[in-house]
């Protein structure tokens, strides 16, 4: 599906000039970190960070029946999203398994932008194209039409405000409006994957470098730093946000992941409806496993795939784990049996290379910003 040569974003040369450590991510060469990932993480929590997210997959859906197509293809009610607003949703298989989690922006009366994870962009594009049969709507691969730059953290509104006359104060969370940032035409979205306030700026690839440089300059006085994928992962983990391939997969339904709220049955037929109705009924009696947070009592870091143990038996599996710069301890998300899922449950541990390290079960998220 992906060719052997990695793809490069429009900011590739700039990342290298900043001394970024690059890594392959879903077929893209992306910055993992520029300096210390802990410093980058803390900058986003306390000041601001600048991210290149151009690996994300943008798919445009247009036409008189664009809303009907998306209502049929996705689990959420997309037709009810107002122009200029966005919604978090999922695309599922007929058996209810999650193909990807998505953000859908309604750009106009009959125009939507679906943003998929890089690793699933082709799968989502293929599924939408297939599901479009019979609808008066067009599905367009716009992955090469956009670069995506995110500014995240408490200082981000001031930074972006200094470069635009768009009404940012009126821009709610999960909303997007067209505007100009540093003279560059952009879709300005108040979304993010860090648990902080911030913006995601969709621009043409040829404008990416000048926008990045303008944002860097505007953020100089308030501690803005360039940030890589490594701290993006610890930020989203602290914020309890799922990552596809870890907390979400084709083997899980939205109910398994504790995200059944994204499924809307009152909108008519959609792919996976029957299977998800059954899953919804079962979820009232607790599924086989529940997603929980775990905080280490010691220093050893749990990783995805490690077994969660209690009373001498395996009761679950870690899906994501890392040292938490904000909490100062290792943390993890894990699926565990329901009887061990209550916050404060005693005797739960993680098997880290044969030694059972003690962990505290907590409710997600680990971190919530003070609004």
Alpha carbon distance 264, 261 (integer Å):
8
Pairing of strands 48-52, 224-226: parallel
Alpha carbon distance 9, 308 (integer Å):
38
Look-up: residue for tokens 């107002």? 82
Look-up: residue for tokens 């943008």? 58
Q: Which residues pair with 323 in a beta bridge?
A: 330
351 contacts: CB under 8 Å, gap ≥ 6 = 306, 307, 308, 309, 314, 357
Alpha carbon distance 243, 233 (integer Å):
9
Helix 121-131 / helix 66-73 crossing angle, nearest 10 deg: 120
200 is in an annotated binding site: yes
Give CA separation, 36 vs 17, 24, 53, 229, 352, in Å. 16, 19, 19, 12, 25
Binding-site residue numbers for substrate are: 200
Binding-site residue numbers are: 200
């Amino acid at each position: 599906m992906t060719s052997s040569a990695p793809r490069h974003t429009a900011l590739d040369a700039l990342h290298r000039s900043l001394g970024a450590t690059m890594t392959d991510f879903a077929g893209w060469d992306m910055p993992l970190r520029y300096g210390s990932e802990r410093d980058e993480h803390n900058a986003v929590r306390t000041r601001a960070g600048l991210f290149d997210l151009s690996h994300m997959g943008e798919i445009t859906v247009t036409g008189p029946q664009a809303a009907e197509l998306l209502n049929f293809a996705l689990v959420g009610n997309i037709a009810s999203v107002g122009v200029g607003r966005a919604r978090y949703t999922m695309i599922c298989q007929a058996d209810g398994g999650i193909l990807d989690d998505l953000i859908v922006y309604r750009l106009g009366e009959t125009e939507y932008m679906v943003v998929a994870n890089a690793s699933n962009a082709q799968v989502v594009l293929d599924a939408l194209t297939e599901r479009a049969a019979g609808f008066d709507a067009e599905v367009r691969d716009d992955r090469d039409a956009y670069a995506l730059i995110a500014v995240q953290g408490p200082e981000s509104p001031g930074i972006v405000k200094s470069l635009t006359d768009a009404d940012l104060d009126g821009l709610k969370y999960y909303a997007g409006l067209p505007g100009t940032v540093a003279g560059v035409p952009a879709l300005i979205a108040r979304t993010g994957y860090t648990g902080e306030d911030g913006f995601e700026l969709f621009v043409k690839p040829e404008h990416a470098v000048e926008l990045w440089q303008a944002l860097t300059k505007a953020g100089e006085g308030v501690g803005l730093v360039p940030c890589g994928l490594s701290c993006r992962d610890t930020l989203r983990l602290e914020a309890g946000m799922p990552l596809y391939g870890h907390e979400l997969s084709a083997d899980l339904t939205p109910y398994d992941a504790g995200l059944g709220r994204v499924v809307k049955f009152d909108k008519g037929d959609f792919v996976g409806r029957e299977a998800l109705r059954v899953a919804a009924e079962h979820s009232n009696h607790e599924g086989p496993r529940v997603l929980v947070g775990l905080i280490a009592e010691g220093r050893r870091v749990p990783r995805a795939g490690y077994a969660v143990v209690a009373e001498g038996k395996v009761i679950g599996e870690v899906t994501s784990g890392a040292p938490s710069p904000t909490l100062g301890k290792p943390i993890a998300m894990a699926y565990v049996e329901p009887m061990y899922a209550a916050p404060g449950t005693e005797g739960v541990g993680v098997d880290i290379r044969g030694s059972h390290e003690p962990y505290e079960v907590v409710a997600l998220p680990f971190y919530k910003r003070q609004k």
